[in-house]
Chains A and B, each alone.
Chain A
Protein backbone atom coordinates (compact mmCIF):
# COMPACT_ATOMS: atom_id res chain seq x y z
CA UNK A 1 0.00 0.00 0.00
CA UNK A 2 1.29 3.46 -0.81
CA UNK A 3 2.15 5.64 2.18
CA UNK A 4 0.23 8.81 2.97
CA UNK A 5 1.97 12.17 2.91
CA UNK A 6 1.77 12.35 6.69
CA UNK A 7 3.74 9.14 7.10
CA UNK A 8 6.73 9.95 4.92
CA UNK A 9 10.08 10.96 6.35
CA UNK A 10 11.68 14.36 5.99
CA UNK A 11 14.71 13.28 4.04
CA UNK A 12 15.66 10.81 1.29
CA UNK A 13 18.67 10.19 -0.94
CA UNK A 14 16.53 10.70 -4.01
CA UNK A 15 13.00 11.84 -4.72
CA UNK A 16 11.31 10.79 -7.95
CA UNK A 17 8.50 12.97 -9.26
CA UNK A 18 6.05 10.94 -11.29
CA UNK A 19 5.50 7.23 -11.75
CA UNK A 20 5.43 6.61 -15.48
CA UNK A 21 7.41 3.54 -16.55
CA UNK A 22 10.58 5.68 -16.60
CA UNK A 23 10.00 6.94 -13.04
CA UNK A 24 9.07 3.48 -11.73
CA UNK A 25 12.18 1.93 -13.26
CA UNK A 26 14.47 4.68 -11.96
CA UNK A 27 13.00 4.15 -8.48
CA UNK A 28 13.59 0.42 -8.68
CA UNK A 29 17.15 0.68 -9.99
CA UNK A 30 18.19 3.26 -7.42
CA UNK A 31 16.72 1.19 -4.60
CA UNK A 32 18.69 -1.77 -5.99
CA UNK A 33 21.82 0.40 -5.83
CA UNK A 34 21.17 0.90 -2.12
CA UNK A 35 19.68 4.40 -2.05
CA UNK A 36 16.75 5.59 0.02
CA UNK A 37 14.06 6.42 -2.55
CA UNK A 38 10.78 8.35 -2.32
CA UNK A 39 8.41 8.11 -5.29
CA UNK A 40 5.72 10.81 -5.52
CA UNK A 41 2.75 10.53 -7.91
CA UNK A 42 0.02 13.14 -8.37
CA UNK A 43 -2.60 10.62 -9.51
CA UNK A 44 -4.19 8.03 -7.25
CA UNK A 45 -2.52 5.21 -9.13
CA UNK A 46 0.93 4.48 -10.49
CA UNK A 47 1.86 4.05 -14.14
CA UNK A 48 1.53 7.44 -15.82
CA UNK A 49 0.28 6.78 -19.34
CA UNK A 50 0.79 3.04 -18.75
CA UNK A 51 -2.68 2.94 -17.27
CA UNK A 52 -6.15 1.44 -17.39
CA UNK A 53 -9.67 2.14 -16.20
CA UNK A 54 -12.78 0.14 -15.40
CA UNK A 55 -16.33 0.58 -16.69
CA UNK A 56 -19.24 -1.84 -16.26
CA UNK A 57 -17.01 -4.85 -15.74
CA UNK A 58 -14.71 -3.91 -18.64
CA UNK A 59 -11.07 -3.07 -18.10
CA UNK A 60 -9.70 -0.72 -20.76
CA UNK A 61 -5.95 -0.48 -21.40
CA UNK A 62 -4.82 2.97 -22.48
CA UNK A 63 -1.34 2.33 -23.86
CA UNK A 64 -0.91 -1.44 -24.01
CA UNK A 65 -0.80 -1.78 -27.80
CA UNK A 66 2.36 -3.79 -28.36
CA UNK A 67 6.06 -3.39 -27.63
CA UNK A 68 9.23 -4.96 -29.09
CA UNK A 69 10.79 -8.28 -28.08
CA UNK A 70 13.56 -6.40 -26.24
CA UNK A 71 11.05 -5.84 -23.43
CA UNK A 72 11.60 -9.44 -22.27
CA UNK A 73 15.29 -8.93 -21.52
CA UNK A 74 14.64 -5.47 -20.09
CA UNK A 75 11.98 -6.74 -17.67
CA UNK A 76 14.14 -9.67 -16.60
CA UNK A 77 17.13 -7.45 -15.85
CA UNK A 78 15.46 -4.40 -14.34
CA UNK A 79 12.27 -5.84 -12.83
CA UNK A 80 11.84 -9.54 -12.18
CA UNK A 81 11.37 -12.95 -13.75
CA UNK A 82 7.64 -13.04 -13.00
CA UNK A 83 7.07 -9.84 -14.98
CA UNK A 84 9.23 -11.13 -17.83
CA UNK A 85 7.29 -14.39 -17.99
CA UNK A 86 4.00 -12.57 -18.56
CA UNK A 87 5.16 -11.18 -21.90
CA UNK A 88 3.55 -12.89 -24.90
CA UNK A 89 3.53 -12.31 -28.66
CA UNK A 90 0.73 -10.59 -30.60
CA UNK A 91 0.94 -12.74 -33.72
CA UNK A 92 -1.47 -11.05 -36.13
CA UNK A 93 -0.74 -7.51 -37.23
CA UNK A 94 -3.16 -6.37 -39.92
CA UNK A 95 -2.88 -3.55 -42.47
CA UNK A 96 -5.88 -2.40 -44.47
CA UNK A 97 -5.89 0.69 -46.67
CA UNK A 98 -6.64 1.59 -50.32
CA UNK A 99 -3.07 0.65 -51.31
CA UNK A 100 -2.80 -2.82 -49.74
CA UNK A 101 -4.27 -5.32 -47.28
CA UNK A 102 -2.13 -7.83 -45.48
CA UNK A 103 -1.50 -9.72 -42.24
CA UNK A 104 2.00 -10.04 -40.82
CA UNK A 105 3.93 -11.07 -37.71
CA UNK A 106 5.76 -7.76 -38.15
CA UNK A 107 9.31 -9.05 -38.13
CA UNK A 108 12.24 -8.95 -40.52
CA UNK A 109 11.70 -12.40 -42.01
CA UNK A 110 8.02 -11.80 -42.75
CA UNK A 111 8.56 -8.23 -43.95
CA UNK A 112 11.30 -9.37 -46.34
CA UNK A 113 8.93 -12.00 -47.75
CA UNK A 114 6.06 -9.50 -48.09
CA UNK A 115 8.18 -6.78 -49.69
CA UNK A 116 9.30 -9.32 -52.30
CA UNK A 117 5.98 -11.03 -52.99
CA UNK A 118 3.38 -8.26 -52.51
CA UNK A 119 5.45 -5.20 -53.40
CA UNK A 120 7.92 -6.62 -55.95
CA UNK A 121 11.02 -5.20 -54.22
CA UNK A 122 14.36 -6.88 -55.00
CA UNK A 123 15.81 -9.01 -52.17
CA UNK A 124 19.09 -7.14 -52.38
CA UNK A 125 17.37 -3.74 -51.84
CA UNK A 126 15.45 -5.08 -48.85
CA UNK A 127 18.63 -6.45 -47.31
CA UNK A 128 20.47 -3.17 -47.83
CA UNK A 129 17.56 -1.29 -46.24
CA UNK A 130 17.52 -3.53 -43.16
CA UNK A 131 21.30 -3.33 -42.79
CA UNK A 132 21.13 0.43 -43.05
CA UNK A 133 18.38 0.93 -40.42
CA UNK A 134 19.71 -1.64 -37.98
CA UNK A 135 23.17 -0.06 -37.92
CA UNK A 136 21.76 3.36 -37.11
CA UNK A 137 22.51 4.76 -33.71
CA UNK A 138 22.08 7.77 -31.63
CA UNK A 139 25.45 9.34 -32.49
CA UNK A 140 24.83 9.25 -36.24
CA UNK A 141 24.27 12.14 -38.54
CA UNK A 142 20.82 13.57 -37.85
CA UNK A 143 20.37 15.55 -41.03
CA UNK A 144 18.74 12.76 -43.04
CA UNK A 145 14.97 12.56 -42.64
CA UNK A 146 12.88 9.40 -42.71
CA UNK A 147 11.36 10.58 -46.00
CA UNK A 148 14.85 10.83 -47.53
CA UNK A 149 15.74 7.39 -46.18
CA UNK A 150 12.64 5.86 -47.81
CA UNK A 151 13.24 7.69 -51.08
CA UNK A 152 16.81 6.41 -51.20
CA UNK A 153 15.74 2.77 -51.01
CA UNK A 154 12.18 2.80 -52.39
CA UNK A 155 11.89 5.88 -54.63
CA UNK A 156 8.32 6.92 -55.43
CA UNK A 157 6.86 3.89 -53.66
CA UNK A 158 4.25 5.54 -51.44
CA UNK A 159 2.78 2.09 -50.70
CA UNK A 160 6.09 0.82 -49.27
CA UNK A 161 6.58 4.06 -47.35
CA UNK A 162 3.16 3.56 -45.81
CA UNK A 163 3.88 -0.03 -44.77
CA UNK A 164 7.14 1.05 -43.14
CA UNK A 165 5.96 4.30 -41.56
CA UNK A 166 2.36 3.91 -40.42
CA UNK A 167 2.98 1.62 -37.41
CA UNK A 168 5.91 3.72 -36.20
CA UNK A 169 3.84 6.91 -36.40
CA UNK A 170 1.35 5.32 -34.02
CA UNK A 171 4.14 3.92 -31.85
CA UNK A 172 6.04 7.16 -31.25
CA UNK A 173 4.24 10.02 -33.00
CA UNK A 174 7.08 10.53 -35.47
CA UNK A 175 6.60 11.79 -39.01
CA UNK A 176 8.47 11.48 -42.32
CA UNK A 177 10.20 14.80 -41.50
CA UNK A 178 11.83 13.60 -38.28
CA UNK A 179 15.47 12.41 -38.29
CA UNK A 180 15.83 8.99 -39.94
CA UNK A 181 17.65 7.63 -36.88
CA UNK A 182 14.52 8.06 -34.74
CA UNK A 183 12.74 5.85 -37.23
CA UNK A 184 15.57 3.36 -37.70
CA UNK A 185 16.09 2.63 -34.01
CA UNK A 186 12.41 2.06 -33.21
CA UNK A 187 11.64 0.15 -36.43
CA UNK A 188 14.64 -2.17 -35.92
CA UNK A 189 13.54 -2.91 -32.36
CA UNK A 190 10.20 -4.17 -33.63
CA UNK A 191 11.65 -6.01 -36.63
CA UNK A 192 13.80 -8.15 -34.34
CA UNK A 193 11.05 -10.62 -33.41
CA UNK A 194 7.68 -8.90 -33.81
CA UNK A 195 5.14 -7.32 -31.47
CA UNK A 196 4.59 -8.38 -27.85
CA UNK A 197 2.13 -7.61 -25.07
CA UNK A 198 1.66 -8.14 -21.36
CA UNK A 199 -0.63 -11.01 -20.49
CA UNK A 200 -2.88 -9.94 -17.61
CA UNK A 201 -3.10 -6.34 -18.77
CA UNK A 202 -1.64 -3.04 -17.60
CA UNK A 203 -3.25 -3.33 -14.15
CA UNK A 204 -1.43 -6.59 -13.49
CA UNK A 205 1.92 -5.19 -14.69
CA UNK A 206 1.74 -2.03 -12.59
CA UNK A 207 0.56 -4.07 -9.60
CA UNK A 208 3.60 -6.36 -9.96
CA UNK A 209 5.91 -3.38 -10.29
CA UNK A 210 4.44 -1.76 -7.17
CA UNK A 211 4.98 -4.97 -5.24
CA UNK A 212 8.59 -5.17 -6.40
CA UNK A 213 9.27 -1.53 -5.45
CA UNK A 214 7.86 -2.02 -1.95
CA UNK A 215 9.92 -5.20 -1.56
CA UNK A 216 13.01 -3.22 -2.51
CA UNK A 217 12.30 -0.53 0.07
CA UNK A 218 10.95 2.31 -2.10
CA UNK A 219 8.53 4.62 -0.26
CA UNK A 220 5.57 5.29 -2.56
CA UNK A 221 3.17 8.15 -2.09
CA UNK A 222 0.22 8.71 -4.44
CA UNK A 223 -2.16 11.71 -4.58
CA UNK A 224 1.00 13.73 -4.00
CA UNK A 225 1.45 16.52 -6.54
CA UNK A 226 4.84 18.20 -6.32
CA UNK A 227 4.55 21.99 -6.53
CA UNK A 228 8.19 22.89 -6.76
CA UNK A 229 11.73 21.57 -6.94
CA UNK A 230 13.84 23.33 -4.30
CA UNK A 231 17.27 24.53 -5.40
CA UNK A 232 19.98 26.18 -3.32
CA UNK A 233 23.43 27.28 -4.52
CA UNK A 234 22.94 25.63 -7.92
CA UNK A 235 22.05 22.24 -6.45
CA UNK A 236 18.75 20.54 -5.71
CA UNK A 237 17.91 20.03 -2.07
CA UNK A 238 14.39 18.63 -2.24
CA UNK A 239 10.81 19.28 -3.29
CA UNK A 240 7.70 20.94 -1.96
CA UNK A 241 4.62 18.75 -1.93
CA UNK A 242 1.32 19.85 -0.30
CA UNK A 243 3.14 22.73 1.45
CA UNK A 244 5.61 20.32 2.98
CA UNK A 245 9.31 20.38 2.16
CA UNK A 246 11.05 17.05 1.83
CA UNK A 247 14.81 17.13 1.41
CA UNK A 248 16.98 14.96 -0.81
CA UNK A 249 20.41 14.90 -2.44
CA UNK A 250 18.98 14.24 -5.89
CA UNK A 251 15.63 14.75 -7.62
CA UNK A 252 14.55 12.85 -10.71
CA UNK A 253 11.63 14.35 -12.56
CA UNK A 254 9.48 11.95 -14.53
CA UNK A 255 7.17 14.83 -15.24
CA UNK A 256 7.41 15.96 -18.87
CA UNK A 257 10.68 17.75 -19.68
CA UNK A 258 8.81 20.96 -20.47
CA UNK A 259 6.79 20.69 -17.24
CA UNK A 260 10.02 20.09 -15.32
CA UNK A 261 11.72 23.21 -16.65
CA UNK A 262 8.82 25.64 -16.98
CA UNK A 263 6.48 24.61 -14.14
CA UNK A 264 8.51 22.88 -11.44
CA UNK A 265 11.78 24.81 -11.46
CA UNK A 266 12.42 28.50 -10.95
CA UNK A 267 13.77 29.97 -14.19
CA UNK A 268 16.56 31.85 -12.40
CA UNK A 269 18.47 28.63 -11.78
CA UNK A 270 19.03 27.95 -15.48
CA UNK A 271 21.57 29.63 -17.73
CA UNK A 272 20.07 31.75 -20.52
CA UNK A 273 21.59 29.44 -23.09
CA UNK A 274 19.96 26.33 -21.60
CA UNK A 275 16.63 28.06 -21.08
CA UNK A 276 16.56 29.24 -24.69
CA UNK A 277 17.34 25.71 -25.87
CA UNK A 278 14.57 24.32 -23.65
CA UNK A 279 12.06 26.79 -25.09
CA UNK A 280 12.81 25.46 -28.56
CA UNK A 281 11.88 21.89 -27.63
CA UNK A 282 8.78 20.87 -29.58
CA UNK A 283 6.39 18.65 -27.67
CA UNK A 284 5.08 15.82 -29.78
CA UNK A 285 1.44 15.46 -30.76
CA UNK A 286 -1.17 13.78 -28.64
CA UNK A 287 -3.84 11.13 -29.23
CA UNK A 288 -7.53 10.46 -29.32
CA UNK A 289 -8.88 7.11 -28.29
CA UNK A 290 -12.25 5.41 -28.34
CA UNK A 291 -12.77 2.59 -25.85
CA UNK A 292 -15.41 0.01 -26.74
CA UNK A 293 -16.59 -2.83 -24.50
CA UNK A 294 -18.38 -5.94 -25.73
CA UNK A 295 -21.39 -7.06 -23.70
CA UNK A 296 -20.76 -9.89 -21.24
CA UNK A 297 -21.48 -13.27 -22.84
CA UNK A 298 -21.06 -11.96 -26.40
CA UNK A 299 -18.04 -12.93 -28.47
CA UNK A 300 -16.30 -11.50 -31.51
CA UNK A 301 -14.32 -13.27 -34.21
CA UNK A 302 -10.50 -13.14 -34.18
CA UNK A 303 -9.69 -10.58 -36.89
CA UNK A 304 -6.16 -9.83 -35.69
CA UNK A 305 -4.55 -8.24 -32.64
CA UNK A 306 -3.50 -4.86 -33.95
CA UNK A 307 -5.13 -3.36 -37.05
CA UNK A 308 -3.60 -0.42 -38.92
CA UNK A 309 -6.50 0.92 -40.93
CA UNK A 310 -7.07 3.86 -43.21
CA UNK A 311 -9.34 4.92 -46.04
CA UNK A 312 -7.03 7.80 -47.01
CA UNK A 313 -5.53 7.21 -50.48
CA UNK A 314 -1.93 7.58 -49.30
CA UNK A 315 -0.04 7.89 -46.03
CA UNK A 316 0.21 11.50 -44.93
CA UNK A 317 1.45 12.57 -41.47
CA UNK A 318 -0.86 15.61 -41.54
CA UNK A 319 -3.91 13.55 -42.45
CA UNK A 320 -3.22 11.28 -39.47
CA UNK A 321 -3.37 14.26 -37.12
CA UNK A 322 -6.54 15.77 -38.54
CA UNK A 323 -9.59 16.01 -36.31
CA UNK A 324 -11.50 13.98 -38.93
CA UNK A 325 -8.67 11.60 -39.82
CA UNK A 326 -9.62 8.53 -41.80
CA UNK A 327 -6.72 6.62 -40.26
CA UNK A 328 -6.78 4.74 -36.98
CA UNK A 329 -5.47 1.63 -35.27
CA UNK A 330 -7.66 -0.89 -33.53
CA UNK A 331 -6.14 -2.79 -30.62
CA UNK A 332 -8.37 -5.77 -30.04
CA UNK A 333 -8.22 -7.37 -26.62
CA UNK A 334 -9.54 -10.94 -26.69
CA UNK A 335 -10.04 -12.97 -23.49
CA UNK A 336 -6.37 -14.07 -23.79
CA UNK A 337 -5.39 -10.52 -22.69
CA UNK A 338 -6.73 -11.16 -19.21
CA UNK A 339 -7.02 -14.92 -18.78
CA UNK A 340 -9.95 -15.68 -16.50
CA UNK A 341 -11.91 -12.54 -17.33
CA UNK A 342 -13.90 -13.66 -20.36
CA UNK A 343 -14.21 -10.24 -21.91
CA UNK A 344 -13.52 -8.49 -25.21
CA UNK A 345 -12.60 -4.82 -25.51
CA UNK A 346 -11.46 -2.71 -28.45
CA UNK A 347 -9.48 0.50 -28.36
CA UNK A 348 -9.30 2.72 -31.43
CA UNK A 349 -6.31 5.07 -31.38
CA UNK A 350 -5.70 8.12 -33.51
CA UNK A 351 -2.94 10.72 -33.43
CA UNK A 352 -4.26 14.18 -32.66
CA UNK A 353 -3.41 17.83 -32.05
CA UNK A 354 -4.14 19.46 -28.68
CA UNK A 355 -5.06 22.77 -30.33
CA UNK A 356 -7.89 21.15 -32.34
CA UNK A 357 -9.63 20.17 -29.10
CA UNK A 358 -8.60 22.96 -26.78
CA UNK A 359 -10.41 25.67 -28.70
CA UNK A 360 -13.84 24.05 -28.71
CA UNK A 361 -16.79 25.23 -26.63
CA UNK A 362 -18.06 22.71 -24.07
CA UNK A 363 -20.99 21.76 -26.33
CA UNK A 364 -18.84 21.45 -29.42
CA UNK A 365 -16.28 19.38 -27.49
CA UNK A 366 -18.96 16.86 -26.44
CA UNK A 367 -20.38 16.79 -29.96
CA UNK A 368 -16.96 16.12 -31.50
CA UNK A 369 -16.35 13.34 -28.98
CA UNK A 370 -19.66 11.70 -29.91
CA UNK A 371 -18.80 11.94 -33.60
CA UNK A 372 -15.41 10.39 -32.92
CA UNK A 373 -17.13 7.48 -31.20
CA UNK A 374 -19.62 7.06 -34.07
CA UNK A 375 -16.88 7.13 -36.73
CA UNK A 376 -14.81 4.58 -34.80
CA UNK A 377 -17.71 2.16 -34.40
CA UNK A 378 -18.63 2.57 -38.06
CA UNK A 379 -15.03 1.83 -39.12
CA UNK A 380 -14.88 -1.16 -36.79
CA UNK A 381 -18.00 -2.58 -38.51
CA UNK A 382 -15.84 -3.07 -41.64
CA UNK A 383 -13.79 -5.67 -39.76
CA UNK A 384 -16.42 -6.99 -37.37
CA UNK A 385 -19.84 -6.77 -39.07
CA UNK A 386 -22.63 -6.46 -36.49
CA UNK A 387 -20.28 -5.38 -33.69
CA UNK A 388 -22.21 -2.20 -32.90
CA UNK A 389 -25.09 -4.27 -31.47
CA UNK A 390 -22.66 -6.02 -29.12
CA UNK A 391 -21.03 -2.89 -27.70
CA UNK A 392 -22.44 -1.92 -24.29
CA UNK A 393 -19.92 0.79 -23.44
CA UNK A 394 -18.15 3.36 -25.61
CA UNK A 395 -16.32 6.47 -24.56
CA UNK A 396 -13.66 8.75 -25.97
CA UNK A 397 -10.45 10.35 -24.71
CA UNK A 398 -8.97 13.43 -26.36
CA UNK A 399 -5.67 15.33 -25.98
CA UNK A 400 -7.40 17.22 -23.15
CA UNK A 401 -8.06 13.95 -21.34
CA UNK A 402 -4.38 13.02 -21.66
CA UNK A 403 -3.48 16.44 -20.28
CA UNK A 404 -5.77 15.95 -17.27
CA UNK A 405 -4.30 12.63 -16.25
CA UNK A 406 -0.61 13.04 -17.11
CA UNK A 407 -0.36 16.86 -16.76
CA UNK A 408 1.83 16.76 -19.90
CA UNK A 409 2.19 20.01 -21.81
CA UNK A 410 -0.52 20.03 -24.50
CA UNK A 411 -1.46 16.48 -23.54
CA UNK A 412 1.47 15.02 -25.47
CA UNK A 413 1.27 11.25 -25.54
CA UNK A 414 4.68 10.81 -27.22
CA UNK A 415 6.93 13.14 -25.22
CA UNK A 416 9.02 15.49 -27.31
CA UNK A 417 10.70 15.68 -30.68
CA UNK A 418 14.38 14.83 -31.09
CA UNK A 419 15.84 18.00 -29.53
CA UNK A 420 14.19 17.16 -26.18
CA UNK A 421 16.68 14.35 -25.63
CA UNK A 422 19.68 16.64 -25.34
CA UNK A 423 17.86 18.96 -22.91
CA UNK A 424 16.77 15.98 -20.80
CA UNK A 425 20.28 14.51 -20.78
CA UNK A 426 21.99 17.78 -19.85
CA UNK A 427 19.68 19.23 -17.18
CA UNK A 428 21.94 17.81 -14.43
CA UNK A 429 24.82 19.84 -15.78
CA UNK A 430 22.75 23.00 -15.20
CA UNK A 431 21.51 22.15 -11.72
CA UNK A 432 23.48 19.67 -9.64
CA UNK A 433 21.42 16.66 -8.67
CA UNK A 434 18.45 17.41 -10.93
CA UNK A 435 17.72 14.70 -13.49
CA UNK A 436 14.95 14.04 -15.96
CA UNK A 437 13.52 10.75 -17.17
CA UNK A 438 10.60 10.40 -19.55
CA UNK A 439 9.61 10.25 -23.19
CA UNK A 440 11.99 12.50 -25.07
CA UNK A 441 13.51 12.59 -28.50
CA UNK A 442 11.16 9.98 -29.97
CA UNK A 443 13.75 7.27 -29.26
CA UNK A 444 13.23 7.16 -25.49
CA UNK A 445 9.49 6.69 -25.83
CA UNK A 446 7.07 3.81 -25.78
CA UNK A 447 7.13 1.28 -22.96
CA UNK A 448 10.54 -0.18 -23.80
CA UNK A 449 12.15 3.20 -24.46
CA UNK A 450 10.80 4.63 -21.19
CA UNK A 451 12.07 1.70 -19.09
CA UNK A 452 15.51 1.65 -20.72
CA UNK A 453 15.82 5.40 -20.36
CA UNK A 454 15.03 4.93 -16.65
CA UNK A 455 18.05 2.62 -16.41
CA UNK A 456 20.32 5.08 -18.24
CA UNK A 457 19.26 7.95 -15.96
CA UNK A 458 19.64 5.76 -12.85
CA UNK A 459 23.28 5.30 -13.78
CA UNK A 460 23.78 9.10 -13.85
CA UNK A 461 21.96 9.52 -10.53
CA UNK A 462 23.88 6.70 -8.84
CA UNK A 463 27.11 8.23 -10.11
CA UNK A 464 26.10 11.61 -8.62
CA UNK A 465 25.00 10.16 -5.29
CA UNK A 466 28.23 8.21 -4.85
CA UNK A 467 30.57 10.99 -5.96
Chain B
Protein backbone atom coordinates (compact mmCIF):
# COMPACT_ATOMS: atom_id res chain seq x y z
CA UNK B 1 0.00 0.00 0.00
CA UNK B 2 1.14 3.52 -0.73
CA UNK B 3 1.12 6.15 2.00
CA UNK B 4 -1.95 7.75 0.43
CA UNK B 5 -3.75 4.42 0.38
CA UNK B 6 -2.95 3.92 4.05
CA UNK B 7 -4.32 7.39 4.84
CA UNK B 8 -7.51 6.53 2.95
CA UNK B 9 -7.75 3.24 4.83
CA UNK B 10 -7.48 4.92 8.24
CA UNK B 11 -9.97 7.65 7.30
CA UNK B 12 -12.37 5.06 5.90
CA UNK B 13 -12.24 3.14 9.20
CA UNK B 14 -12.84 6.34 11.18
CA UNK B 15 -15.77 7.19 8.92
CA UNK B 16 -17.23 3.78 9.77
CA UNK B 17 -16.95 4.66 13.47
CA UNK B 18 -18.44 8.14 13.04
CA UNK B 19 -20.16 8.87 9.75
CA UNK B 20 -20.28 12.57 10.62
CA UNK B 21 -16.52 12.89 11.12
CA UNK B 22 -15.22 16.02 9.38
CA UNK B 23 -11.86 15.47 7.68
CA UNK B 24 -11.77 18.82 5.83
CA UNK B 25 -9.66 20.65 8.39
CA UNK B 26 -7.77 17.64 9.74
CA UNK B 27 -4.10 18.34 10.52
CA UNK B 28 -2.21 15.07 9.86
CA UNK B 29 0.40 15.89 12.47
CA UNK B 30 -2.02 16.67 15.29
CA UNK B 31 -3.69 14.00 17.47
CA UNK B 32 -6.78 12.45 15.91
CA UNK B 33 -8.32 12.12 19.39
CA UNK B 34 -8.91 15.84 19.93
CA UNK B 35 -9.58 16.80 16.32
CA UNK B 36 -12.21 14.13 15.71
CA UNK B 37 -13.40 13.69 19.28
CA UNK B 38 -12.32 10.04 19.42
CA UNK B 39 -12.17 8.13 22.71
CA UNK B 40 -10.24 5.04 23.76
CA UNK B 41 -13.07 2.75 22.58
CA UNK B 42 -12.80 4.32 19.09
CA UNK B 43 -9.09 3.47 18.96
CA UNK B 44 -9.92 -0.10 19.94
CA UNK B 45 -12.37 -0.16 17.01
CA UNK B 46 -9.58 0.99 14.65
CA UNK B 47 -7.33 -1.81 15.90
CA UNK B 48 -10.10 -4.42 15.47
CA UNK B 49 -10.95 -3.16 12.01
CA UNK B 50 -7.30 -3.31 10.89
CA UNK B 51 -7.17 -6.89 12.13
CA UNK B 52 -10.40 -7.75 10.34
CA UNK B 53 -9.44 -6.18 7.04
CA UNK B 54 -5.71 -6.89 6.89
CA UNK B 55 -5.01 -9.49 9.61
CA UNK B 56 -2.80 -7.00 11.45
CA UNK B 57 -2.08 -7.81 15.09
CA UNK B 58 -1.33 -4.54 16.83
CA UNK B 59 -0.14 -5.06 20.40
CA UNK B 60 -1.44 -2.70 23.08
CA UNK B 61 1.95 -1.09 23.66
CA UNK B 62 1.90 0.05 20.01
CA UNK B 63 -1.44 1.89 20.27
CA UNK B 64 0.31 5.27 20.78
CA UNK B 65 1.63 4.93 17.21
CA UNK B 66 -1.93 5.50 16.01
CA UNK B 67 -2.15 8.96 17.57
CA UNK B 68 -1.97 11.12 14.41
CA UNK B 69 -2.77 10.40 10.77
CA UNK B 70 0.90 10.68 9.82
CA UNK B 71 2.06 8.48 12.71
CA UNK B 72 -0.47 5.85 11.56
CA UNK B 73 1.12 5.93 8.09
CA UNK B 74 4.66 5.64 9.50
CA UNK B 75 3.66 2.72 11.73
CA UNK B 76 1.45 0.87 9.22
CA UNK B 77 3.57 1.33 6.05
CA UNK B 78 6.01 -1.53 6.74
CA UNK B 79 3.16 -3.77 7.94
CA UNK B 80 1.11 -3.15 4.80
CA UNK B 81 3.91 -2.95 2.22
CA UNK B 82 2.89 -6.21 0.53
CA UNK B 83 -0.82 -5.49 0.47
Contacts and interface: CB of A to CB of B under 8 A. Distances in A.
Interface in A239-291: none
Interface string B40-83: 01001101100110010100000000000000000000000000
Interface string A153-166: 00000000000000
A459 B47 contact: yes
Contacts of B41: 74, 77, 452, 455-456
A194 B16 CA distance: 26
A324 to B, nearest CB: 41
A33 B52 contact: yes
A140 to B, nearest CB: 14
A362 interface: no
Contact of B51 (A29, A77, A452, A463): A463
Interface SS, A side: helix
B52 A34 contact: yes
Given A466-B57, A467-B57, A77 B48 contact: no
B11 interface: no
A165 B51 CA distance: 41
A458 interface: yes
A33 B44 CA distance: 13
Contacts of B17: 77
A45 to B, nearest CB: 28
A459 B57 CA distance: 11
A459 B55 contact: no
Contacts of A462: 48, 51-52
A455 B52 CA distance: 14
A190 to B, nearest CB: 16
A459 B44 contact: yes
Interface in A5-36: 29, 33-34
- Sort chain A's interface into a size bin: 10 to 19
Contact of A466 (B44, B45, B47, B55): B55
A456 B44 contact: yes
A453 B13 CA distance: 21
Contacts, number: 28
Interface in A26-73: 29, 33-34
Nearest to A34: B52
Given A34-B52, A466-B55, A77 B45 contact: yes
Contacts of B57: 463, 466-467
Most buried by A among B48, B51, B55: B48
Interface string B16-31: 0100000000000000
A456 B48 CA distance: 10
Contacts of A467: 57
A248 to B, nearest CB: 20
A463 B52 CA distance: 10
Contacts of B51: 33, 462-463, 466
Contacts of B47: 459
A459 B55 CA distance: 13
Nearest to B44: A459
Given A77-B41, A455-B41, 18 more contacts: A29-B48, A33-B48, A33-B51, A74-B41, A77-B17, A77-B45, A452-B41, A455-B44, A455-B45, A456-B41, A458-B48, A459-B44, A459-B47, A459-B48, A462-B51, A466-B51, A466-B57, A467-B57
18 contacts: A29-B48, A34-B52, A74-B41, A77-B17, A77-B41, A77-B45, A452-B41, A455-B41, A455-B45, A458-B48, A459-B44, A459-B47, A459-B48, A462-B48, A462-B51, A463-B51, A466-B55, A467-B57
Interface of A: 29, 33-34, 74, 77, 452, 455-456, 458-459, 462-463, 466-467
- Leading 9 A-B pairs by shortest Cβ distance: A459-B48, A459-B44, A33-B52, A452-B41, A462-B48, A466-B51, A462-B51, A463-B57, A77-B17
